[in-house]
Amino acid sequence: MNRPLASVIEAIEVAGLAYRGGFHALATDTLPDVRAGEATQTVLLVGMVGSAQWPAFATSREATDGAPHPLDRWGHRLLCELAEAFAARALEPSAGPPWWPFQRWAQRAEPLHTSPLGLLIHPDYGLWHSYRGAVLLAERLDLPARAPGASPCTSCVSKPCLHGCPVSAFEPGTYYPDRCASHLRSAPLGGYRQTGCSARLACPIGRDYAQTPDQAQFHLAAFLRSRDEENRG
Ligand code: B12
């Protein structure tokens, strides 16, 4: 069976996620098989873009049940439903360490480049996009050829992202998450906690896709919890 890509994209969007491109597996990828004896041929990425998928998550049972990691659990449920519908295998970005190389895969699926912040930048969505999973198919879908494009960061001379952080949590090639976390903890409620990461907000690309205030607050709170978990070991 070789289903048309359009029907796959439609199913992903109906499920409540964004289609984030796909690529054909290479022997060097060492991807797991879809099932015993059925090698992975196509990898499709699914995720979130701007605040488009946010209301579906914010009103989901996972967002309101009070249990930990609501976004991961919501994404997991949707991804498992998609995998079942496509007879596919699902891989998740939060499963690790070791982590699946989602940022490397993403650059094969869409015209993305590594920004000075380490996050991948998209020509339209800027820094405001993320991944909820990869769908591994045993069939080789017809994927459109992807035109390579220059990184918007190359022509960005002033690099406001690198000057946007008040505690220099980003230096070229390195990210210091604990500098960010201690600053957020000392900041009064409101400010960054209301609007989100000032380094990301300083980027001129994709501003229309910036997170809504409740989305930004959710992610900053989740980031602080993840630092606590990491530092507790
Ligand atoms: C561990 C992790 C973190 C750690 C450490 C991140 C770090 N920069 O050191 C912590 C918890 C601090 C963190 C924070 C955040 N993260 Co994070 N994180 C991950 C995770 C789970 C694993 C990354 C990893 O180590 N991969 C292993 C290597 C082998 O994978 P790889 O794809 O081959 O690696 C490439 C990248 O690492 C990239 N790279 C990463 N950082 C940098 C920095 C520089 C300067 C360069 C040149 C390259 C580079 O280069 C590699 C080769 O291409 C990924 C999910 C995933 N599975 O990838 C999310 C992920 C990278 N994080 C993501 C996000 C959104 C964030 C936060 C914004 C979340 C938040 N709201 O706080 C922050 C900001 C992080 C930042 N600026 O880098 C997104 C990035 C999406 C995007 N647009 O690129 C991912 C993909 C998760 C997702 N669900 O979409 N994260």
Helix intervals (H) in 59-176: 61-64, 70-86, 102-109, 160-163
Reported as a pLDDT band with limits 50, 70 and 90, residue 81 is very high
pLDDT at residue 188 in the model: 64
- Assess whether the C-beta atom of 177 lies below 6 angstroms from ligand 1: yes
Atom of ligand 1 nearest to the CA of 226: 11
In the structure, what pLDDT confidence band is assigned to residue 189 with cuts at 50, 70 and 90? low
User: Do 127 and 205 contact (CB within 8 A), yes or no?
Assistant: yes
Q: What is the pLDDT of residue 186?
A: 84
pLDDT of residue 229: 82
pLDDT higher than threshold 80 for residue 187: no
Q: Choose one of 17, 20, 102 to mutate for the ligand 1 pocket test, by most ligand atoms within 8 angstroms of C-beta.
A: 102
The answer to whether residue 1 scores a pLDDT higher than 60 is no
The full 3-state SS of 203-225, as one line of letters, equals CCCCHHHCCCHHHHHHHHHHHHH
Question: Which residues are CB-neighbours of 56 under 8 A, at least 6 positions away?
Answer: 16
Label residue 191 by pLDDT band (50, 70, 90).
Answer: low
pLDDT of residue 172: 79
Distance CA 113, CA 39 (A): 29
Query: How sure is the predictor about 219, in pLDDT bands with cuts at 50, 70 and 90?
Result: very high
Residue 28 pLDDT > 70: yes
Amino acid 192: pLDDT? 58
How does the average pLDDT of the chain come out, rounded? 92
pLDDT tens digits for range 83-134: 999 999 999 999 989 999 999 999 999 999 999 999 999 999 999 999 999 9
Q: What is the mean pLDDT of residues 48-61?
A: 97
Lowest mean pLDDT among 29-38, 103-112, 149-158, 167-176: 167-176
The Å distance, Cα 120 to ligand 1 centre, comes to 9
Q: Which atom of ligand 1 is nearest to the CA of 170?
A: 77
The pLDDT assigned to 190 comes to 56
Residue 76 Cβ < 6 Å to ligand 1: no
Name the residue ranges covered by the structural domains of the chain.
5-137, 160-232
Per-residue pLDDT averaged across 22-45, rounded?
96
Q: At residue 29, does pLDDT exceed 70?
A: yes
- Atom 28 of ligand 1, residue of closest alpha carbon: 101
